[in-house]
Amino acid sequence: MINFLLLPILIPLMTGVLLIFFPKHIKWQRWIAGIFSFITIIVSTMLVQKVKTDGIQTLDVSSWDAPFGITLVSDMLSALLVLTTSIVAFACLLFSFRSIGEEREKFYYYPCYSFLIVGVNGAFTTGDIFNLFVFFEVMLMASYALMVLGGTKIQLRETIKYLLVNVISSALFVITVAYLYSVVGTLNMAHISERISEVGQPGIITVIAILFLIVFGLKGAIFPLFFWLPDSYYAPPVPVMALFGALLTKVGVYSIMRTYTLFFYHDTGYTHQILAILAILSIIFGVIGAIAYWDIKKIIIYNIIIAVGAILFGVSAMTPDALTGSVFYLIHDMLIKAALFLLVGVMIAISGTSNLKDISGLIKRYPGLAWTFFISALALAGIPPLSGFVGKLLIIKGGFEAEQYWGAAIVLMSSLLILFSIMKIFINGFWGTPRAYEGEEKVPVKTLMIAPVVLVTISVFYGVGSEVIFPYISQAAETLVNPEIYIEAVLKER
């Protein structure tokens, strides 16, 4: 019997290993990477349907029963995030074929790309807290290589900063896991939850919860730990930037979401209140950055921080509506951020600059690019009936239910300011007097537009067809609202 749970990790791993043997055969690398990336989407879709019909899927590696061995777990939240990751990875891969350049491709770009997806999908799937650290490291090692590939001055400078932050974060992660193990005596996430529920949530567990918030907050770029993100994500080429912006911070967000609903839900008065405050501050500072900058990459990058704040505010509220909204909005943001980064990448390829003051009138020669960007901007801001609306509405509703009125109001107001920041690109970059840009006729705009158009189309369907999608989202949120479902699925053999 095929275990679909393992395949989204195993296929990119085998692809990366295979591609190492063909470093100079760029066409072969493209074909192999593209075909197996598409196969990963297919098996991820099958996994989602399997979880939908048969419930949470588990795999005890090496036949060691939980909680003694390593367990992989796919509930609906994990399966949906793996599917979204596979779609985003395939789209960014298509964009890479005509934009990344052979100089980067021949230095193991595609193997590193595949190993990054191994880390992301593994982090979403693991049921063991130490193996979450392992998959984080796989993801980060691949991201170091992708960030520095090309060796430009800004890449080298920002990779050093990115490396230092993540080395410190990883060390703190191991220390926090060791503290947790010393208290509960297990690394299996379901078993950890069971042990914590037996002892309540004494002071040491609250300290561990805050340490996890620092660790995952650094990786997820929550206030005030986002200081490294704007410049680090600015440095790499566009498809790498899109991949990082759509996926890497979301692994940190997922980790907070998972631990704060599975481990630390017994005494939420302190830990979740801190999470709520940091989430609101993330939204505020993200909005300030998005409005202040005239660099189109920086505007989208600061919108990552706003989205992180909105998602985690829903987690802090801990109501069924808020958690459902956070899951819905998380998937929406992965799709639409990747699309927006790729669209601004096309704008930069045409104009040769990311400075908005040097771009204007693109709509005359590139109407398809302009209107695709416009739809993406509306979706990002949460204009109904697009994908950002449903998730944000549920988060706001959940905030009011939890009596976090100020936070809910700030999430609501952020939609207007997001729209302002993103429409600044549309109004100044696409309207106005058309300019002639050197070398624009050589840019394969139609080919480059395939990937963002696919992502925007999926995003539009995700919003307009939310009634079709909603049963899956509800099933994903149910595990967060009732952690007993997750625990029973993993520890059923005991």
**Is the per-residue pLDDT at 494 higher than 60?**
no
**Is the per-residue pLDDT at 437 higher than 90?**
no
Please write the tens of the pLDDT for every residue from 445-493.
888 889 999 999 999 999 888 888 889 999 999 998 888 888 888 887 5
Q: E strands of 29-77, at which residues?
A: 57-60, 71-74
Residue 117 binned pLDDT confidence (cut-offs 50, 70, 90): very high
Please write the tens of the pLDDT for every residue from 198-245.
876 678 888 888 999 999 998 888 888 888 888 888 888 889 999 999
**Is the per-residue pLDDT at 388 higher than 80?**
yes
The 3-state DSSP composition of the chain as helix, strand, coil percent (nearest 5) reads 80, 5, 20
**Is the per-residue pLDDT at 335 higher than 90?**
yes
Burial class (CB in 10 A: 0-12, 13-18, 19+), 21: exposed
**Is the per-residue pLDDT at 422 higher than 60?**
yes
At 483 the pLDDT is 87
- DSSP for 401-468 reads HTT-HHHHHHHHHHHHHHHHHHHHHHHHHHSSS----TTGGGS-HHHHTHHHHHHHHHHHHHHHTHHH
Segment 427-450 mean pLDDT: 83
**Is the per-residue pLDDT at 193 higher than 80?**
yes
As beta bridge partners, residue 128 has: 188
pTM as predicted: 0.92
At 280 the pLDDT is 93
Contact 192, 107 (CB under 8 A): no
Residue 2 binned pLDDT confidence (cut-offs 50, 70, 90): low
At 1 the pLDDT is 43
Please write the tens of the pLDDT for every residue from 254-267.
999 999 988 888 77
